[in-house]
Amino acid sequence: MMMTILKHLEQHPGVNPEPFSSVVTSVCDEHIVLDSTAYYPMGGGQPGDRGNIESDSFTCTVVDVRKKGEVRHIIADSEGTLKPGDNIRCTIDAEWRNQLSAMHTAQHLVSALANEEWGADTVGNQIGFDKTRIDLQFENRDIFDRDSLSQMVNDAIAKDMEVMMDFRPSAELIDDPLVRINMDRMPPNIDVWRTISIGDLDVCPCAGTHVLRTSMIPEVEITRVKSKGAGRLRVEYILNN
Ligand SMILES: [Zn+2]
């Protein structure tokens, strides 16, 4: 199986993705595999990218991107013919990517601030175009306060903190007090992590797409908080673009 080079990992910020060229390694009615791609494949709670692929003899839309060993660009509305070895031009839907990058960066803020304020651990998340949900696990969830979380997140946005991406060794992350996740629960076979740092608030290993500064996130409005069992709350938010 061919390993597709994931170019989004080298790119930051993740907004306004540039068109790119690539070469087809395999194609069927449902999906296309490329030798390299800048499309984001679904993962870490963030949906896959959308967009368009074309060659001199072929066009299609990309409706999702999934990593199943290989990286599959799930296609629809294809016209013409395409075969392995063909050169193609790819466009990523910027409206989709930009909104998900803002939603995703907001998720880092919500998770970090809930951890900072109440010691909550993020145990799940689903980032969406319209709304995002984060599951928080508390020792005592009665101390959680929705209005103060909302205030803290929007204050962090207004602080205009830089969102930085770099690659850091595991040993360094284990010793960094700003890393809030338990590195023991991360796959042990990875020595160097793509790391996202937000000002002096948070450091997190992450393969997703993000904005460049927190001020690029619209106002976060928490729309719902509901119980998900002992000590656990699901927080939902939207962005007031
Ligand atoms: Zn992230």
Same domain, 104 and 210: yes
> Residue 210 C-alpha to ligand 1 middle, in angstroms?
6
Q: Residue 164 is which amino acid?
A: M
Name, in order, each residue with C-beta under 8 angstroms of 171's C-beta and a sequence gap of 6 or more: none
Q: Does 17 sit behind a cis peptide bond, omega within 30 degrees of 0 on the bond before it?
A: no
Same domain for 141 and 174: yes
CA 47 to ligand 1 centroid distance, Å:
12
Quick one: which H or E segment has residue 158? Answer: helix 146-158
Same domain, 135 and 40: no
Final residue of a structural domain among 92, 125, 158: 92
- Structural domains counted in the chain: 2
82 Cα: distance to centroid of ligand 1 (angstroms): 34
Query: Domain span at residue 215?
Result: 97-240
Please state, in angstroms and as integers, the Cα–Cα distance from residue 239 to each residue in 41, 52, 103, 221, following that order.
23, 26, 7, 6
For residues 101 and 88, state if they share a domain. Answer: no
Q: Concatenated DSSP letters for 92-121? A: E-HHHHHHHHHHHHHHHHHHHHHHHHH-PE
Domain boundary among 73, 92, 111: 92
Q: Are residues 46 and 130 in the same domain?
A: no
Same-domain pairing of 102 and 148: yes
- Regarding whether 107 and 28 lie in a shared domain, the answer is no
| Same domain membership, residue 25 and residue 121 | no
Distance of CA 204 to the CA centre of its chain: 12
Question: Which residues of the chain, if any, have pLDDT below 70?
Answer: 1-2
The string of pLDDT tens digits covering residues 96-134 is: 999 999 999 999 999 999 999 999 999 999 999 999 999
Give, as one character, the DSSP assignment of residue 204. Answer: E
pLDDT for res 3: 85
Is there a single domain that holds both residue 55 and residue 114?
Answer: no
Give dist(CA 41, CA 93) in Å, integer.
13
Q: Ligand 1 center to residue 195 CA distance, Å? A: 8
CA 80 to ligand 1 centroid distance, Å: 37
Domain boundary (58, 92, 126) is at: 92
**What single letter denotes the amino acid at residue 132?**
T
Residues 81 and 164 in one domain: no
220 and 173 in a single domain? The answer is: yes
Find the 44 Cα to ligand 1 centroid distance in Å: 8
For residues 160-178, one letter each, b for 16 or more C-beta atoms within 10 angstroms of the residue's C-beta and e for the rest, the string is: ebebebeebebeebeeeee
Q: What's the 196 CA to ligand 1 centre distance in angstroms?
A: 6
Q: Which residues contact 28 (CB under 8 A, 6 or more apart)?
A: none
pLDDT, residue 1, reads: 62
What is the distance in A from the centroid of ligand 1 to the CA of 191? Answer: 18
Assign residue 139 the CATH number of its domain.
Answer: 3.30.980.10
Taking the centre of ligand 1 as the mean of its atom positions, its distance from the CA of residue 178, in whole angstroms, is 15
Residues 6+ apart with CB under 8 A from 41: 6, 48, 49, 65, 66, 67, 71
Whether residue 164 is found in the same domain as residue 88: no
Ligand 1 centroid to 180 CA: how many Å? 13
Distance 54 CA to ligand 1 centre (A): 30
Q: Can you give the CATH number for the domain in which 22 is found?
A: 2.40.30.130
Nearest to 43 by CA among 214, 232, 209: 209
Dihedral over alpha carbons 4, 10, 15, 16 (to 10 degrees): -70
